[in-house]
Structure 1
Amino acid sequence: MTTDLTFAPATIHDIDTLVTMLADDELGQQREDTRRPLNQSYIDNFRAIEQDPNNELIIVKQHSQVVGMLQLTFIPYLTHTGSWRCLIEGVRIHKDFRGKGLGTQFFEWAINRAQQRGCSIVQLTSDKKRPDAIRFYNRLGFTASHEGFKLNL
């Protein structure tokens, strides 16, 4: 277990590192834009996330290096007796830090954050082309209880 971790909201100064991490696999390379200067849509959406009280873009640092990221979105529902859910998206651990338990600690932190916000469910999706990620989520206790659908616009 890694003990020298810091969890904090991302800042605009982290955005280059975050985009690089998002693009750091086969799927990410197909959908992210790593050209510089940075695509303005990343900056615009970072600002939108930053200003939305129901969204948190969180980084994890080891010493002063950003080694992971995820986004938490808190969603009110009428179902489940009018409960709140936490959606976890954009999960990345820097390739040099995978397999060291950092992801588990990050998810423990994220689940605790969801509980602090009064959520009764934590949900996420994972691309079927990421079997390692799916095994990781299963080990954490997540179950594939629903079939997910997406429509690209």
Structure 2
Amino acid sequence: MKGEVAIRDLGIGDVDALVDLYQHLNAGDAPPSPEAVLAVFAHPGLRHFGVFDGEALIASCNLAVIPNLTRGGGSYGVIENVVTHADHRGRGHSQTVVRHAIEEAWKVACYKVVLTTGRKDPAVWAFYERCGFDAGDKRAFVIRR
């Protein structure tokens, strides 16, 4: 390990490291435009969290808090883009960042947190269950353009 492992909110100054880390999620993705970066980091209710080993960003996820009119007006959270650098996998960093995002959702009174994954690997599903998610609670449907 290079340095002390810490978790914090990511800001616009972390974009280059985050885009590089996303290559470990979706290799070959085109980088976002500067306009997209500004829009994402200005979006209310959207936060990005990062786990750092010293100065190196090694794991991340984001949390969108969605206002809602059901459940007494309780918001809900959506976690996406969970990724750990390939050189740092198997050490609990993704679990750290996911659990941090869940705790942040509870702090703003979300009544639930949802996470979807495109991975078909049962080990990945088991990982999310260890983080507290219930795969049998809801069914997700996706449509892509």
Tell me if both proteins adopt one fold, taking TM over 0.5 as the criterion. yes
Letter of the 2:27 counterpart? Q
Give the match's secondary structure for 2:21.
helix
The CA distance in 2 between the partners of 1:73 and 1:39, in whole Å, is 18
Q: Which residue of the partner structure matches residue 138 of structure 2? A: 146
> For the aligned residues, what is the CA RMSD?
2.1
Q: Which residue of 2 aligns with 1:106?
A: 97
Q: Which of 110, 117, 120 in structure 1 is aligned with 2:108?
A: 117
Is there any run of 5+ residues in structure 2 with no aligned partner, and where?
Answer: none
TM-score w.r.t. length of structure 2 = 0.85
The alpha-carbon deviation at position 12 of structure 1 amounts to 3.2
More helix by share: 1
SS state of the match for residue 135, structure 1? helix
Question: Structure 1 residues 39 and 102 mapped into 2: Cα distance closer, same or farther (>3 Å)?
Answer: closer
In the alignment, residue 29 of structure 1 is paired with which amino acid? A
Counting matched residue pairs gives 142
Question: Share of identical aligned residues, percent?
Answer: 27
Q: Which amino acid aligns with 2:18?
A: L
Aligned pairs for 1:2-151 (under 5 A) are 4-24=4-24, 28-29=26-27, 32-33=29-30, 38-40=31-33, 43-144=34-135, 145-151=137-143
TM-score (normalizing by structure 1):
0.81
Deviation at 1:131?
Answer: 3.3
Contact 1:70-1:90 at 8 Å conserved across structures: yes
Quick one: which amino acid aligns to residue 11 of structure 1? G
d(CA) in 2 for partners of 1:11, 1:132: 31
* Residue ranges of structure 1 left out of the alignment (5+ in a row): none
